[in-house]
C-alpha cells in the first residue's frame, strides 16, 4: 500500500510541476520549496510513508546526495562555454577560493568562540557550510551555455568549483578529530588531500572527457556511425570520471565538473551554425535529426544538444528526490533555538563580507556584486558533507549538533532564496536590459 501511495504522490507531483511550471516560475516560489513541503508531508509528521534517521541511514543519504551533486556539477560545467582565457573566469575562481576561505575562517571562529565546538568540529562545520550549492541554484545560474552575464557566470562557476575545493577541509576537520591521518606537520593532508586531490581531479576529468567526446565525434564524422544515444555520454562520463578519480584518490567532484567543462570545449561553436537556441528553460526543444543524414559539420552541435537535454532532465530528477528526502528528515532534526542566530549571521554578514573581499579587483558591477553576496545558496552539498562525516565516525552528539545547524541553514536558504529569486532576478534583468544593450565587454 505504501508503494502505491508513493507512486500516486510522485506522479501527481511531477505532473503538477510539468503543467504548472511556467506559472510557478512567475511566483515568488521555487520548485525546491514545494518539494520540501511535500517531503515533510510524506514524512512522519504527515502521511508517514517515509521514515529516515540521519544517523542510522547516513550511508544511504550520503550516496543519494553524492549522486545528486555529481549530476549537477557535470551540468554546471557543461554550461560554462566561455574559454578558460576569458577574464570572467576570475570571478568564480575568486569566489571558490578567497571568498570560501574567508567564510570558513569566520564559521570556524564562531564555532569555537560562540558554539563551544572543538577546533576539529568547528573546521568540519565550516567545510560543510562554506560551499554554495549547484543543485538548488539553477534559477541564478547561466540561462544558456553562451550566457556572458557576470552574475550568472560567477554563481554558476562558484557552485561548480567550491564543492570540490571544500572537500580537503572536510578531511582536515576529520583529521583534527582524529578520524583521518593528516601526517606529521599535516604534510599528508596538504600533499594528498589538497594538491594531488584537486590537481589530479581536474586533470582526470578534463582528459577523460576530451578523449571520450572526441572518440564519439570521430566515429560519427569520419566513419558515419549512427550513434543515436548521445544523451548517455553525460551519464557515462559522470560515472567514469568520478569512479576513476576516487580510485586515484583525487577529488571526484572536481573531476566531474572538469569533465563537463572539457566536453563543452570540444566544439567552441555549438549550434551556432544550426540556428538552435541552447536554452535551459526549454531543454526539450531539441530538433529531431537522423544520424544517417546528418552533416559531419553538425555532429558536434547535435551531440551537445543531446547531452544538454539529458543533463537537464537528470538534474531535475535529482533535485526532486533529494529535497523530498530532506523534507522527510526535518521531523527528526532538533532545531536548537539557541543556535538560530547563526543563520542570519552567515547569510547577512559573513557571506556578503567574503564576497566583497573576494571580488576586489574584478570588473563586477555593484548590483551584480550585491546579488552575488545574497545568493550564497546552501543545499545538497552541505548535506552530503555532513553525511560523509557521520559515516566516517564523528560522535553521535556532535553529529546531532551539526545536523541541527546544517538543517537550519539549508531550510532557511531554500525558503529565503526561493522567495527572493524571482523578484530579484527579474529586477536585475530589467536593469541590465535597460542600461546595456551592447555585448558585455570582457
Q: Where are the domains of the chain?
A: 57-435
C-alpha to C-alpha distance for 368 and 155, rounded to whole angstroms: 10
Residue 197, pLDDT score? 95
C-alpha to C-alpha distance for 150 and 363, rounded to whole angstroms: 9
CATH of domain 57-435: 1.20.1530
Residues of the chain scoring pLDDT < 70:
1-3, 5-6, 17, 19-29, 136-138, 143-147, 220-231, 267-311, 332, 338, 435-442
Interhelix angle for 396-435 vs 380-391, to 10°?
160
C-alpha to C-alpha distance for 297 and 273, rounded to whole angstroms: 9
How far out from the chain centre does Cα 429 lie? 23
Give 127-149 pLDDT, tens digit per residue: 999 999 877 666 777 766 666 77
Residue 281, pLDDT score? 44
Residue 22, pLDDT score? 65
Phi-psi bin for 363: left (phi > 0), alpha (psi -120 to 50), beta?
beta
**Terminal-residue alpha carbon distance, the chain:** 58
Q: What is the pTM of this model?
A: 0.85
Residue 303, pLDDT score? 62
Amino acid at each position: 500500500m505504501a508503494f502505491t501511495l508513493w507512486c500516486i504522490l510522485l506522479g501527481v507531483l511531477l505532473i503538477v510541476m510539468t503543467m504548472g511550471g511556467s506559472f510557478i516560475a512567475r511566483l515568488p516560489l521555487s520548485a525546491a520549496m514545494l518539494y520540501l513541503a511535500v517531503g515533510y508531508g510524506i514524512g512522519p509528521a504527515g502521511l508517514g510513508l517515509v521514515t529516515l534517521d540521519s544517523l542510522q541511514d547516513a550511508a544511504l543519504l550520503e550516496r543519494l546526495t553524492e549522486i545528486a551533486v555529481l549530476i549537477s556539477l557535470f551540468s554546471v560545467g557543461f554550461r560554462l562555454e566561455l574559454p578558460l582565457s576569458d577574464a570572467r573566469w576570475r570571478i568564480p575562481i575568486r569566489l571558490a577560493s578567497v571568498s570560501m576561505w574567508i567564510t570558513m575562517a569566520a564559521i570556524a571562529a564562531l564555532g569555537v568562540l560562540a558554539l563551544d565546538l572543538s577546533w576539529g568540529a568547528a573546521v568540519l562545520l565550516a567545510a560543510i557550510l562554506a560551499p554554495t550549492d549547484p543543485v538548488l541554484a539553477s534559477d541564478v545560474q547561466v540561462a544558456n551555455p553562451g550566457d556572458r552575464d557576470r552574475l550568472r557566470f560567477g554563481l554558476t562557476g562558484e557552485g561548480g568549483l567550491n564543492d570540490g575545493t571544500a572537500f580537503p577541509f572536510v578531511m582536515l576537520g576529520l583529521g583534527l578529530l582524529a578520524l583521518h591521518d593528516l601526517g606529521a606537520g599535516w604534510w599528508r593532508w596538504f600533499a594528498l588531500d589538497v594538491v594531488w586531490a584537486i590537481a589530479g581531479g581536474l586533470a582526470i576529468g578534463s582528459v577523460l572527457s576530451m578523449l571520450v567526446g572526441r572518440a564519439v565525434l570521430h566515429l560519427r564524422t569520419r566513419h558515419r556511425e549512427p550513434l543515436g544515444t548521445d544523451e548517455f555520454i553525460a551519464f557515462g562520463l559522470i560515472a567514469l570520471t568520478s569512479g576513476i578519480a576516487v580510485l586515484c584518490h583525487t577529488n571526484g567532484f572536481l573531476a566531474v565538473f572538469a569533465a563537463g567543462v572539457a566536453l563543452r570545449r570540444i566544439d567552441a561553436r555549438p549550434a551556432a551554425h544550426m540556428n538552435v537556441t541552447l536554452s535551459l528553460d526549454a531543454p526539450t526543444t531539441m530538433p529531431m535529426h537522423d544520424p544517417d543524414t546528418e552533416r559531419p559539420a553538425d555532429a558536434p552541435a547535435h551531440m551537445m544538444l543531446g547531452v544538454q537535454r539529458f543533463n537537464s532532465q537528470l538534474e531535475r530528477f535529482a533535485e526532486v528526490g533529494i529535497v523530498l528526502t530532506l523534507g522527510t528528515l526535518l521531523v527528526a532534526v532538533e532545531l536548537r533555538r539557541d543556535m538560530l542566530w547563526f543563520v542570519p549571521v552567515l547569510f547577512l554578514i559573513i557571506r556578503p563580507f567574503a564576497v566583497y573581499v573576494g571580488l576586489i579587483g574584478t570588473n563586477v558591477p555593484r548590483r551584480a556584486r550585491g546579488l552575488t553576496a545574497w545568493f550564497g545558496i546552501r543545499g545538497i552539498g552541505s548535506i552530503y558533507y555532513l553525511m560523509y562525516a557521520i559515516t566516517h565516525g564523528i560522535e553521535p552528539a556532535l553529529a546531532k549538533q551539526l545536523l541541527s545547524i546544517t538543517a537550519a541553514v539549508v531550510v532557511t536558504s531554500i525558503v529565503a532564496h526561493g522567495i527572493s529569486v524571482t523578484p530579484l532576478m527579474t529586477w536585475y534583468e530589467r536593469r541590465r536590459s535597460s542600461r546595456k544593450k551592447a555585448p558585455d565587454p570582457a
